[in-house]
Homo-oligomer: A and B are copies of this chain.
Amino acid sequence: MPRNGGKRPGPGSREAERRKTILRAAIDVFARKGYHGCRIADVAREAGVAYGLVYHYFHNKDELLRSVFEVSWGGFLARMRAVAEQPAPLAEKVRGIARVAFEAYRHDPRGVKVVILEIARSPAGARVDRNSAFADVVQLSERMFRAAQESGELRDELDPRVCAALLFGAIEMGLTALVVGVFNHKDDAVVERLQRQIAESLLGGVLSPRGASVDVEWKRERSGTRAVTARRS
């Protein structure tokens, strides 16, 4: 039983290869037809293996989805953490996170598609422990924003949790736009531009404005920082 208690066998082994093949096939098929829209037979055919072999490596369709998620999400989370926890200004970190996300897309658009369309939002994703997964990433960036708030990099009146949500919302939306085909996802320049605009737009509105700002009333109404503007003139 290669199921091996949930742990994947050591890399290089033939089984590990097989497993990976099937997982790749699953990602491709899920990306093409959606979790509900494909049959195990499709995965098997795509992987070029016999029907039953899929069940040799995965207990059932759910576990397949779960594994797809783990694989696609795992690396992303690790790189994200590295970026978020490095000692650097907030702006750097936010740009870094956007970069990591869009690089993941450039590297494996199908995997990203499945995570975004099938797991992140679809009820099919309920089969996955996505809550804790997203909780990880949201906590991560929430901490990041909170720290930035304490160091004065982030406006006082903002809720760090909302900032975190905004960041990933914007990223996810950008990726969705690519995934769904709103933007030309073949053109690296477009992808690059999208990635930048997301980070910068968020930052421009999020960072403490040293100078002047447009939405004066809103800020004042919340934190009474009339002085801020004044001080700067």
A86 within 8 A of B: no
Q: Contact string, A186-228, partner B, CB cutoff 8 A, digits 1/0? A: 0000000110111011111111011111110011001100001
Given the interface contacts A36-B123, A122-B117, A165-B174, does A214 sit within 8 Å of B223 by beta carbon? no
In the complex, A201 Cα to B202 Cα: how many Å? 7
- Copies of this subunit: 4
Residue of B nearest to A32 (CB): B123
Q: Judge whether B122 and A197 touch: CB under 8 Å.
A: no
Q: Given that A177-B165, A200-B205 are contacting pairs, would A223 and B170 also be in contact in the complex, using a CB cutoff of 8 Å? A: no
Chain A: number of interface residues, binned into ranges: 35 or more
**What's the minimum C-beta distance from A142 to chain B, rounded to whole angstroms?**
11
Q: How far is the CA of A161 from the CA of B124 in the complex (A)?
A: 30
Q: How far, in whole Å, are A124 and B36 apart by their CA atoms in the complex?
A: 8
Determine if A117 and B121 form an interchain contact, defined as CB atoms under 8 angstroms apart.
Answer: yes
A14 in contact (CB, < 8 A)? no
Cα distance A120–B210 in the bound complex, in angstroms? 38
- Bound CA span A146–B182, Å: 17
Answer whether A203 and B200 are a contact pair too, CB < 8 Å, given A162-B193, A172-B169: no
Chain B minimum-CB-distance residue to A177: B165
A204 touches B209 (CB 8 A): yes
